[in-house]
Structure 1
Amino acid sequence: MAQAELITEMVRAHTLGDERRWRNLLSQLIAAESRAGHTRQAARLRALLAEAKTAEPERSSRQSVGGPVPLARAPRDLADVLDVRYSDVQLADLVLPDELRGSVQRVLDEQRQAGRLAEHGLMARRRLLLHGPPGCGKTMAAHALAGELKLPLARVRLEVLFNRYLGETAATLTDIFDHIGRVRAVYLFDEFDALGKHRSDEFDVGEAKRVVGTFLQLLDACDSDSLIVAATNLGETLDSALLRRFDDVLEFPAPTVEARALLLRRLLRTVPVGGDEVKKLAKQSEGLSFAEVQAAVDNARKAAILDDREFPSLNEIDAEVRLRVRGASLKTGRA
């Protein structure tokens, strides 16, 4: 984003009372000044940012309790393809293998220290591809990135982009990337395989090929400080030219029995269930994703609430898990 645009957006954020966005824009201005070699000005701006953060608790205490926090909004012409919200998910909320957790943490560390990296001519990771089976944490990881960085999460609704804008998809993508350049956020391109199937696919029409080409050009030209996250269940179907554009390609594997047990312990922390019983449930949930395990527990909890009970019984949870396993078997054709 050009400096003049940054300042304009800062004034707009201040006028709207959106302190979070104002601080995010000021951070971008600091990074831009650092990249330009204006170290003294960058230092003055950092001091101003620190002063603003110190004053924020005092300012908040003077405001009415429970007042709404202004949310980022998609521009009117993109309102149906950009779903914008804030996230309170943290990295600690995710159940991830240690190596994958370390990779996500590294992205967060670089984003938080982007200004320091820029002073040395380096750029923080900002283009991520997340792939793996459905329900295994990809979308939640995007929520965690936004929550940890205190940035808006903007989900690009590719299904709407293709279905409603047939013939105009490339032009709408250009508008989306213009927004990415103006407003710093975590932009999630979910179900990315809808965009990135092999361009050599004999069933691809010319429109899809043009869209992929446009996306590649826009991604190459994008110098925004925003974080671009693409998530797909079908990483093997993606065009190699797309894969090369990402700073990190992170695999989210199907959960192991240990990972399912950890999730169950978290979900059942208020339920009187022993460790051995949790392990048994974890084994019985073989083949289920994190999302399916959570859905099973949620269904058991809902039954208890509607029956005026404080928590579900072990038998209810077990029955919901078994029901989900049978459903998963039907989907995959297993006996």
Structure 2
Amino acid sequence: MRRIAGNVERVLVGKPDVVRIALVTLLAEGHLLVEDVPGVGKTSLAKALARSIDCTVSRIQFTPDLLPSDVTGVSIYNRQTGGFEFRPGPVFANIVVGDEINRASPKTQSALLECMEEQQVTVDTSTYTLDDPFMVIATQNPIEMEGTYALPEAQRDRFTARVSIGYPDQQAELAMVDEHSGHNPLHELEPVSDAATVVRLIHLVRRVHMAPEVRRYAVDIVAATRQVPEIRLGGSPRSTLQLVRAARAQAALSGRDYVVPDDLHAVAIPVLAHRLVLTTEAHAARRSATDVVRAVLHRVPVPQGGPAVNGQARR
């Protein structure tokens, strides 16, 4: 995973925290939503991560006229056999890069719901299983709203994490100008891992120990988002599962085989903030979902030390 991170950081200069969340999402068997203004490297992050792993990769350019069958595939009549045969769409890949996902209609966006949640596609009453690993990395621009369709809550809830890349600092931008002005580093990226290795790492992450007190802490954090007056819709039970999986992946990337409360803190904002729906009063007060998650983390009591919490005990 360090090799993959180093490969991606050759393209996305000066953003190690963003790259880490992308790797956490990959190990947590999740999907990543990259939301930011144009030109900060959203698509470059997705393509760099995809090229760093020797696996099948497809790219979908979401447009207003894109149809659900353009994503999932379609059954075509074969004159020679006298029957229909299924032609898989671009979603049949290990890593699917969806560029500007909010430019497609809600009908087309919904084509991703089944595959993101159940890792399968149903077309004409036939169900097709997607290969492991499977990850959707989607990008969207939150500023330019003309000709776009906001992601429905069911779609946003299926994304394990959301990241905003942000502008680089001056030193990182200067390094980017020096390194990227003469060539595109994406063209020089070589795979540093493969699909089988990633699947093996995912199985290892599943076995990372999480003490009962830490599991309870994760549940308390999500439950607290449902009780905040500024929130109209709090975290779902799915978000609790995703928070636990992401915390396990965060612990593994930190070189530990057990989860501590700091792991939950590290992933809480990327995992929870995009799922929360604020009230009108909160918007008027210019409160953000990120502010609410931070307040929840400060308010919910952290489980104190002890062998079960610090990982010394084993199940």
Q: Shorter-chain TM-score: what band?
A: 0.3 to 0.5
TM-score (norm 2): 0.40
What TM-score, normalized by structure 1, do the two folds share? 0.38
Larger Rg: 1
